[in-house]
Amino acid sequence: MIRRGTVAAAIVVAAWLAPAVARAGEPTTVDTVEEAASLDDAGFEDSDDEQAPARDIMAMPPLHTPTLTAYPPLYAGFALPPIQAARGKAKPFDTSHGEVDPRVKKVPRTHRFRLALHAHWVRLTRTQNPTTGEFERFHYAPMHIDLAYQAQFLKWVMVRVAVGIGANVANSRNSMPVSVFPQAFAGYQGKTAGVAFGYGFDWTIPPIDGASSPSSSFSLEQPVIRRNHVVMGEVSVTSRIDRVALTFALNIGGMKSRLTHFAEANNRFRLYLGLSAGAFFDGTIRREKKARKAAEKRGQ
């Protein structure tokens, strides 16, 4: 009984002293008055009304920074972009004026035209210069402006015919200055990726035997290739950005051609590498303009 009474008395005393202990840490009115008096002694007088706000601010007790702070939810921020993307897709897109929703990837249209920059490379012969004793490797690398028409049918099957016209930019350009490159492809074309196989005939115009570079007196005679049949595979990626489908393609295959260089003459396959970058045009911009004009007429 004595112990229980002692514990109860201690609890009552603690509850009675708690407010007093809490008020002990607070600044009293006397302390505030003393601080204000010390400020007056330091040169802050009541006669100057402009200094009254500064005096009042400095007379205030210092603020106490809490020890417990709430940190920003950094880990939850990683989930924010997918959530915003999902909300963006859920928002309706106004197509009343003919605009196409860029968030939706659709199957390619039946008829499309492509304008691209195409370049390919073939390694040719290696010859020693009798004057300098150095060896020189010749290459054939034309760069074309490529115009193509692509048809899509059976949803995923595509056929494309193209023709490229350009100039040879490698060190065999004096013997083969111009190139015309008709091609035909067939394969799979999805919403983004495509795989196709094709055939092309690289026509060098005109092939000049014995041509060399006029810039140097030690230049070698350059090789010539004729009847260039190209068999190749293509891997492409197409993306729709701002109503225009951008496309990038890689071609790997072989070129069978008849090569003549000095006393060497052969007819065999050589490695063929090609790169393309361009854009498809399927009439989306034209259709949007027509739909916009029709909507404006209806609004009038």
Q: What is the structure's pLDDT at 161?
A: 97
Co-location of 143 and 278 in the same domain = yes
pTM beyond cutoff 0.85: no
Closest CA to 125 of 264, 5, 269: 264
Higher pLDDT among residues 65 and 204, named by residue: 204
Note whether residue 295 is domain-resident.
Answer: no
Which of 37-41, 124-128, 201-205 is the least confident region? 37-41
Mean per-residue pLDDT, 275-287: 84
Q: What band does 215 get if pLDDT is binned at 50, 70 and 90?
A: confident
Q: Give the whole-angstrom CA distance, residue 27 versus residue 209.
A: 104
pLDDT value for 146: 97
Question: Span 43-57, mean pLDDT?
Answer: 58
Taking residues 43-72, report their average pLDDT: 61
User: What is residue 10's predicted lDDT score, i.e. its pLDDT?
Assistant: 62
Same domain for 195 and 53: no
pLDDT band at 290 (very low <50, low <70, confident <90, very high): confident
Residues 267, 118 share a domain: yes
Residue closest to 153 by CA, chosen among 105, 198, 109, 120: 109
Task: Evaluate whether residue 69 is within a structural domain.
Answer: no
Same domain, 46 and 116: no
- 184: tokens are 């035909």
In a domain, 163, yes or no: yes
Cα–Cα distance, 151 to 158 (Å, whole number): 6
Token reading at 244: 């225009």
Same domain, 19 and 127: no
Shared-domain flag, residues 39 and 153:
no
Winning range, highest mean pLDDT, from 17-26, 65-74, 118-127: 118-127
Q: Is residue 207 in a domain?
A: yes
Q: Is residue 219 part of a domain?
A: yes
CA 283 to chain centre: 24
48 and 117 in a single domain? The answer is no
Residue 170 shares a structural domain with residue 238 = yes
Any idea which of 168-177, 184-193, 200-209, 214-223 has the lowest mean pLDDT?
214-223
The CATH number of whichever domain residue 221 belongs to comes to: 2.40.160.20
Rounded average pLDDT over 43-55: 56
Residue 183, classified by CB atoms within 10 Å of its CB into exposed (0-12), middle (13-18) or buried (19+), is buried
Does a structural domain hold residue 97? no
Residue with tokens 């930019």: 169
**Do residues 129 and 24 share a domain?**
no
- Position 80 scores a pLDDT of 56
Are 12 and 133 in the same domain? no
Q: Is residue 215 part of a domain?
A: yes
Which band of pLDDT confidence, cut at 50, 70 and 90, is reported for residue 44? very low
Answer whether residue 288 shows pLDDT above 90.
Answer: no
49 and 118 together in one domain: no
Q: How many domains does the chain have?
A: 2
> Is pLDDT larger for residue 220 or for residue 5?
220
Tens of pLDDT, residue by residue over 79-101, are: 555 555 555 556 676 666 656 66
20 has pLDDT over 80? no
Q: Which domain holds residue 210?
A: 111-286
- Mean pLDDT within 267-294: 84
In tens, the pLDDT along 219-265 reads: 888 999 999 999 999 999 998 765 678 999 999 999 999 999 888 88
In a domain, residue 291? The reply is: no
* C-beta separation of 146 from 299 below 8 A: no
Q: What pLDDT, on a 0 to 100 scale, did the predictor assign at position 71?
A: 56
- Does one domain contain both 161 and 264? yes
